Structure 1
């Protein structure tokens, strides 16, 4: 049997320009005109392209200054946290990387983003967005002290911090809005000043349809009324605790990752419309959060790919995006329990099977349907499907564990082309794994290398 090597990716989505292997084409399409759905859902998703990052950031990413670029990439998560307007609520597992293996970013607990006041309270030191407003004469020192412990400060290059500060002041629309609040305070107006980060947009979020500066933020002076309508973010002057912000706000990711979104670009928001052909029918009319991020992390030759070049920070962003997607789904399930009850008619029987005896708890739990990946019902149904096959066809002849090798030539060829390693691009490793897995199953099911196949199952 020959070793199967499907080579480098040789196809490009004709609609959005994403790069693919031919083997990733949508099933049922003509072989001469392959179509792909992982990127833009076959043309239904059309988002503004990423701009090339500012020149200073480009030099750090391209490693033009080797010593400084190496320091930047090694500490990129620290540099990002210095300039982030918000903080993450999840607990990052730091012990998982003590073994000396490839870097892994793992987060435990509930993840959320919080934003504080415009100014620190009393003797508190400035943090997060406050560093754009408070004591800006010592800003570089304040940022280093606020974001790093004493044992890590020696690894931080103040020149990089200064360069990033100047870059964001010049190019980042969010930084400009917070500097606007600083200027107001320097004029002596300390009272009843709030910064409103606006959620609603007049534009629809598609290509070449960007929001104007007045749609992003507004400085509110001498207006004490609480405006909690919608998902606008109101940054108070003082006297409030850090507030959680909605993952549906357009600036949710830009506030947490200023080094990934150096211009403060909009991210996902609700009601971004599909691009539909005339007369086409579609149950859903708008882009989902999953489709949005799937579009964003594709590699394209016609736009900047700096989002995928930031190593540890890119991994953090992908994990954060997945957490947002899962939370979005869970919120929907929580608010649509009435719709799901007809599917989950066995809810009371589940309670009995668990041995619950308190009647006041029956019917009050949030039930996760089997369509939610890794939920108890998802696992139970997959197990039952596998057992049903065994009941019909008998005991299995093969029980195969299929693993991935990052040294596969397809992975290495793609990584060498972009100048990265396997741990920096889990998306490439995952895609090659699934291509190999599908081909392996085709060998067994269709080509009959082990004889005629009556039944098979992948229980996940």
Structure 2
């Protein structure tokens, strides 16, 4: 992974008051420069200052992008800030996140540094600047921008995308060679367009401070290494979103991984990544109903189980199999398995509740060495919790702390 620009390094890893202010308000600064908006509803009632910060959204999560130029009478937002009224760009960006009445917690010097840094390094910013020049030189002609969803280079190697790979300017009619993953942004529509999660620019458009060069996020054409495919000749050849994010958030030696030091923005990124993984699973289930043999499910019986007695409500349904974690059949299957064990062996003798503690010495040692707090690295808390849980279960089973085990639920 390429090291971030020096300006961003000083803000992430510096010990100055400006760096501390930036990290405390990093989500706000990222919102100033992001091209897209979040579709999920952010719960802002949780962070009252009495507990560690939490990022929670409800509803379906997705990213939307608007037209290149705002409609008459509207303030520019998101991608429009790169094109419209750039003479007052700094002021417009600050107003977009706080409004005119409360600007005291925004450092204008940081905003200027971030703007110059992205102008010099980010390939997406450079292409939107090209669109701005085209719109200013041809104000009458309709200018469209196509964010290309396919790449020609190998997704396993770290290659920064070039301008012609990321986007294409279209003057006049729509390009007939557009792909399914491409995103067409028009000059003035007043409407939002949802971005396909498989587009390589899906994450860089939302997190410019985590992808300062505009480098690609997850791509569906990233292939496993040759060594892995030789050991698994009949397995998949492309990595899944879960495997991509598991690798991406893992700390690497000799790499300045700004994501792992982005604190509250890291929390938002993890929630966004989880929704991408769940969405990919749901899409697979929806498009592979025959392979999952969902026609064998008894539709009427399932409907009665849910309490749906109105025959007019019958129609085509997407069946979530019991392998989908958190689904109704998943919960019912686990319940039935537990009841079958209780019927055969008897009721449990021990019911153990195992909770996580952010004050565990392993977590404290890890985050203190990096100048962080436990709530800045929820991934480390989860990993240590899982390791300790597995170790406890292994001790109970192997060392027989409570005697011989007849069954487990």
TM class, shorter-chain normalised?
over 0.9
Matched, 1:238 2:188: yes
Out of 192, 196, 202, the position equivalent to 2:152 is 202
Aligned to 2:151, what secondary structure does the other structure show?
coil
Q: 1:103 touches 1:423 (CA, 8 Å); kept in 2?
A: yes
- The question of whether the paired residues in 2 share the 8 Å contact of 1:344 and 1:369 is answered with no
Could you report, residue by residue, the CA deviation over 1:129-158 in whole angstroms, capped at 9, with x for unpaired residues? 110111111000001111224454210011
1:59 pairs, out of 3, 10, 19, with: 10
User: Are the aligned partners of 2:161 and 2:215 in contact in 1 as well (CA < 8 Å)?
Assistant: no
**Number of corresponding residues:** 407
Q: Is 2:133 the counterpart of 1:171? A: no
Greater RCO, 1 or 2 (C-alpha within 8 Å, sep 6+): 1
In the alignment, which residue of structure 1 is the partner of 2:344? 392
Provide the residue aligned with 2:254 in structure 1.
302
Equivalent of 1:319, from 245, 254, 271?
271
Residues 94-116 of structure 1: CA distance to partner in whole angstroms, max 9, x if unpaired? 11122611111101111111111
Shift of 1:242: 1.1
Structure 1 position 236, deviation (Å): 0.4
2:372 to 414, 420, 431: 420
Distance verdict in 2 for CA 1:388–1:287, change over 3 Å: same
Deviations 1:367-417 (A, max 9, x none): 211111111111111112222221122111100100111111111111122
Seen in structure 2, the aligned counterparts of structure 1 residues 227 and 131 have a Cα distance that, compared at 3 Å, is farther
Distance 1:162 1:73 in 2: 16
The C-alpha deviation readout for 1:313-343, integer Å capped at 9, x for no partner, is: 0110110111111112112222222333447
Q: CA distance change for structure 1 residues 99 and 209 in 2, over 3 Å: closer, same or farther? A: closer
2:12/2:262 contact within 8 Å kept = yes
Name the counterpart of 1:187.
Answer: 137
- Distance in 1 (CA, whole Å) between partners of 2:257 and 2:401 is 41
Which of 267, 272, 291 is 2:243 aligned to?
291
Distance 1:150 1:389, change over 3 A: farther
CA contact (8 A) 1:72 1:160 kept: yes
Alpha carbons of structure 1 residues 279 and 162: separation in structure 2 relative to 1, 3 Å: closer
Q: CA RMSD in A?
A: 1.8
- The separation in 1 between residues aligned to 2:296 and 2:90, in whole angstroms, is 56
Residue 355 of structure 1 and its aligned partner are, at CA, apart by 3.7
1:131 aligns with 2:81: yes
* Cα distance in 2 for residues equivalent to 1:144 and 1:393: 65
Hey, what does 1:69 align to over in structure 2?
A: 19
1:227 Cα offset (Å): 6.7
